[in-house]
Structure 1
């Protein structure tokens, strides 16, 4: 990978080429608030839009006593690392050249290795075992041509694309533009929760084979959503095949500059959202671009 920023640049930065907005929030679940004593929020979420959009969500293990500290540390470390690695990301995601899956995999492993090191160092500072700080990790970073994503453990990654409405496409007169509608789809395999013994965490024992990662084209991409399993309870079906249209409403409000953190917090604590759920912490990171912007 190149380390010279000038050699890796392909035209304007993504932030310059498209107008992206981003927002993140993490809320304490009702089960944690009502516990004796109350348990702090073990989720953390963060976003940046410059020099390129990046979203990070971490969900601390419920059985780990300081996982709230670990989740916050990992999110901060990932945001900083992505900024530091901008020349490499420009080479990897912005140019027309397709890179091998192995190259993308190695880069994702580098990111996770840094997250592991962050927890190991933080645990040493606190004189705690790393297990006390372990957390899941979701990350998406956007380039001009491709999006890189990675996943350790549960939670959901969702992409929104603008596709022609089938009914309008078949009835178009010559020269007319089809009506675009949002299409939502998940990435990665499902996580089933810590206590089903199927969730992995970022800690010193994490193996390379437990890291999910991949890349997606940015063609027609209009929105990205990362969420912890607590938020996904009401937004994504258990098998990942159905995604709530609420995400598209939020993404549209975000691109229209109408969505605030308080709107998400109110929704997460609403009776309709809490009914029939586990009361787990809820975190989400969103990014959306204006529909008229071109790649």
Structure 2
């Protein structure tokens, strides 16, 4: 089962000038089609935050309703024309509503859609699309930049059709996809080597095995405190991943992975003992238990049992069921 998480945050430059966040992200699951989408509104377009929102929702609607037709159509140009026309029609309706020019709604566009064992990737403009195949992070689509610095192609650009990238393929041995805006790529993408930061794999893994609210909070905290400080631009990301032999459940993780998740220092004299204790608690919570039951089972005081449970709650490995604790069920 594919899981998704997405987040956008206003950049320091826009906050300083009281400009709305122009990055927008979206995810959906409609008609058995999993979708993540991202759009980066043009800084030169005064209402691009509206345009970005329109683009990701219109595209998700179109692909959800026409996935099979898009995948089975061998005429790639026709597919691109149909997609772009749908987006432009939606933008024209918005421009009428806002009494603005189409160019005022300019944005880039990135999307990954998956149904059964088939994926579809669409990309217009800058930003990065990556994926995890086996153990290796790969680039599916690099930024499309214009002739001059800090320029790119937008959905509303005259050359949007010729610049649009469209990929179709099988999800065999693919465990996750990621979309990121150019602001985020300043931190998580090496332009020189065209490689993604290894932390992307960790984010995909956490998304695959943890509660959505927990991974969302972790990503939000990371972006708000670290990523956004590496650029003046807005920052956004969208991830789609699934549990697999690579992105495995906690019980199947190695000691190093468990230490990283639990915040235990790997290699110390007590790390194996600490892991063993958390392993035992997680397994014991295969059905809901009270704090008192956990305390008795571990032969420790309630305050220490609560401390262990709080850590597991923070990671998302367990959850609260009323006044009891239980394993998080994916």
Structure 1 and Structure 2 fold alike (TM over 0.5): yes
Say which SS state the counterpart of residue 131 (structure 1) adopts.
Answer: helix
Tell me the residue number matched to 1:153: 125
Deviations 1:228-276 (A, max 9, x none): 11111111111462110111111100111244322212111224x345x
Which position in structure 2 is the counterpart of 1:203?
A: 156
Aligned to 2:89: 117
Q: How does 1:71-110 map to 2 (within 5 A)?
A: 71-89=52-70, 92=72, 100=74, 103-110=75-82
Pair 274,197 (structure 1): closer, same or farther in 2 beyond 3 Å:
closer
Work out the CA distance in 2 between the residues paired with 1:206 and 1:251. 33
Q: 1:263 — aligned with what?
A: 218
Decide which of 20, 25, 36 is 2:7's aligned counterpart: 25
Alignment correspondent of 1:69? 50
d(CA) in 2 for partners of 1:30, 1:288: 29
- C-alpha distance in structure 1 between counterparts of 2:148 and 2:221, whole Å: 28
Deviates more, 1:68-77 or 1:46-55: 46-55
* Aligned counterparts of 2:217 and 2:107: Cα–Cα separation in 1: 25
Give aligned pairs, total: 243
Report whether the alignment pairs 1:136 with 2:136: no
Correspondence for 1:166: none
| Structure 1 unaligned regions, length at least 5 | 1-18, 93-98, 163-181
Pick closer, same or farther for the CA change 1:157–1:244 going to 2, 3 Å.
same
Superposition misfits of 4+ residues, deviation over 4 angstroms: none
Deviation at 1:88, TM superposition (A): 2.2
Give the Cα–Cα distance (whole angstroms) in 2 for the partners of residues 245 and 74 of structure 1: 30
**Contact 2:39–2:110 (8 Å) recurs in 1:** yes
Distance 1:79 1:135 in 2: 16
Q: Which runs of 5+ in 2 are unaligned?
A: 247-330
User: Which position in structure 2 is the counterpart of 1:281?
Assistant: 234
> Does structure 1 residue 46 correspond to structure 2 residue 17?
no
**Which of 200, 210, 214 is residue 167 of structure 2 equivalent to?**
214
How big is each residue's C-alpha offset from its partner over 1:116-168, in whole Å with a ceiling of 9 and x where there is no partner? 22111111111100111110000111133432111110001001112xxxxxx
Local SS of the residue matching 2:33: coil
Q: Give the Cα separation in 1 of the matches to 2:53 and 2:167.
A: 24
User: How far does residue 112 in structure 1 lie from its aligned partner after superposition?
Assistant: 2.1
Once residues 88 and 144 of structure 1 are traced to their aligned partners in structure 2, the CA distance between those partners, rounded to angstroms, is 14
> What is the TM-score when the length of structure 2 is the normalising length?
0.68
User: Aligned partners of 2:216 and 2:101: how far apart in 1?
Assistant: 34
Confirm or deny that 1:225 pairs with 2:178: yes
Alpha-carbon displacement from aligned partner over 1:176-210 (angstroms, at most 9, x marks no partner)? xxxxxx21111224334796264100116344212
CA distance 1:264–1:218, change in 2 (3 Å)? same
In structure 2, the CA distance between the partners of 1:240 and 1:140, relative to structure 1 (3 Å rule), is farther
Structure in which a larger fraction of residues adopt helix: 2
1:53 alignment partner, SS class:
strand
How far apart, CA to CA, are the structure 1 residues paired with 2:38 and 2:147? 16
Structure 1 residues 195 and 122 mapped into 2: Cα distance closer, same or farther (>3 Å)?
farther
Q: Does structure 1 retain, via aligned residues, the 8 Å contact 2:145–2:153?
A: no
| Distance across 1 between alignment mates of 2:205 and 2:179 | 16
Indicate if the aligned counterparts of 1:255 and 1:289 stay in contact, CA closer than 8 A. yes
Bigger mean CA deviation after superposition, 19-28 or 49-58: 49-58
